[in-house]
Amino acid sequence: MQTITSKENSLIKHICKLKEKKYRNEYNQYLIEGVKLVKEAIEEHANIEYIIISEEAKSSELVAKYLKNVLQSTEYIQVPNNIFKLISEVEKPQGVLAVIRKNLEDIKIDYSQDIILALDGIQDPGNLGTIIRTADSVGLTQILISKGTADPYNSKVIRSTMGAIFRVNIIECDNFSKTLKMCQENNYKIIVTSLESKQSIYDLKLKKKVIVIGNEANGVSKESLELADERAIIPMLGKTESLNASVATGIILYEYVRQKISH
């Protein structure tokens, strides 16, 4: 165990910087916070660089329940409560935080998967986190995201994934249209949802398909629409015209599950 007591310490300053996207990108690191999330990172063999625990948390029941055995065999840094509050991003911190290195090395699109999920400009961090969690729940191990999509390493996204961030590869696409074309070259068809389509999502066979989910306000981009092999609508019986992006994603992904388990 190492102890840090000064807010002027270089590591403390570095951790504070990681609250900003530009520094997360510069250092290829991000923060996770909370006892269960740190425990899951350890169990999933995430690239943990530092674990920081407050003096108060070290003797808490939550840490004793979930991290006691882990801390006996893992190096960590202890800080006073006031220093932890400085680096924390939540209003009522549990006193446990970790710095994770992004898994960016050699991540390539896996073209052996039945379906590929692609996010085209999702803006809300809560939506993005929920989508990642839902993708994990149906066994997807990768998600393509456009440049205009929210930062997947934002603290709200991380919390919303409930640990799925450690199991799903996030492939950030510099050129989203080019990436979709590469998928087509690898025998995938591009599906987009469109309110103007008469074809139901339930009429499509979800095999070797890229499912593109668009921006909450504007839907999929013009470029993605032009590339689409198929357009479909999620049928609705009420007066609501559109669904939340994460809800729409869940409906489509679980139609994939239904098709998979019925064969």
State the residue range of the domain holding 43.
2-101
- Summarised one tens digit per residue, pLDDT across range 24-62 is 999 999 999 999 999 999 989 999 999 999 998 877 888
Asked if 140 and 173 sit in the same domain, the reply is yes
Strand 29-33, strand 115-120: pairing: unpaired
Q: Kindly tell me the sign of the dihedral angle through the C-alpha atoms of 229, 171, 16, 127.
A: positive
Asked if 148 and 250 sit in the same domain, the reply is yes
Asked if 94 and 194 sit in the same domain, the reply is no
pLDDT of residue 105: 67
Residue 159 has a CB neighbour count (10 Å cut-off) of 19
* CATH of residue 210: 3.40.1280.10
Residue 51 has a CB neighbour count (10 Å cut-off) of 21
On the question of pLDDT at 98 being above 90, the answer is yes
106 domain residue, yes or no: no
Domain total for the chain?
2
16 domain residue, yes or no: yes
On the question of pLDDT at 261 being above 90, the answer is yes
Asked if 136 and 83 sit in the same domain, the reply is no
> d(Cα 134, Cα 161) in Å, to the nearest integer?
8
Q: Answer with the residue of higher pLDDT: 194 or 101.
A: 101
pLDDT of residue 177: 96
Asked if 229 and 156 sit in the same domain, the reply is yes
Asked if 150 and 81 sit in the same domain, the reply is no
Mean pLDDT value across residues 101-112: 85
Asked if 159 and 217 sit in the same domain, the reply is yes
138 domain residue, yes or no: yes
Which of 71, 101, 131 is the last residue before a domain boundary? Answer: 101
Contact 143, 110 (CB under 8 A): no
Asked if 144 and 220 sit in the same domain, the reply is yes
108 domain residue, yes or no: no
Asked if 94 and 138 sit in the same domain, the reply is no
**Residue 132: alpha-carbon gap to chain centroid:** 5
∠ CA 125-126-132, nearest 5°, is: 90
Percent of the chain with pLDDT over 70: 99
Asked if 129 and 255 sit in the same domain, the reply is yes
The mean predicted confidence, pLDDT, of the chain is: 92
Residue 226 has a CB neighbour count (10 Å cut-off) of 11
| Helix 125-137, helix 245-261: angle, nearest 10 | 10
- Summarised one tens digit per residue, pLDDT across range 214-257 is 988 888 999 999 999 999 999 888 988 778 899 999 999 999 99
Mean pLDDT value across residues 130-156: 96
Contact 133, 13 (CB under 8 A): no
107 domain residue, yes or no: no
Total number of residues shown for the chain = 263
Asked if 72 and 184 sit in the same domain, the reply is no
- Summarised one tens digit per residue, pLDDT across range 174-206 is 999 999 999 999 999 999 988 778 899 999 999
Please state, in angstroms and as integers, the Cα–Cα distance from residue 104 to each residue in 108, 139, 180, 181, following that order.
9, 20, 20, 22
Which of 101, 128, 158 is the last residue before a domain boundary? Answer: 101
On the question of pLDDT at 15 being above 70, the answer is yes
* CATH of residue 17: 3.30.1330.30
- Summarised one tens digit per residue, pLDDT across range 72-86 is 777 889 999 999 999
Asked if 36 and 64 sit in the same domain, the reply is yes
Contact 165, 136 (CB under 8 A): no
∠ CA 242-117-235, nearest 5°, is: 30
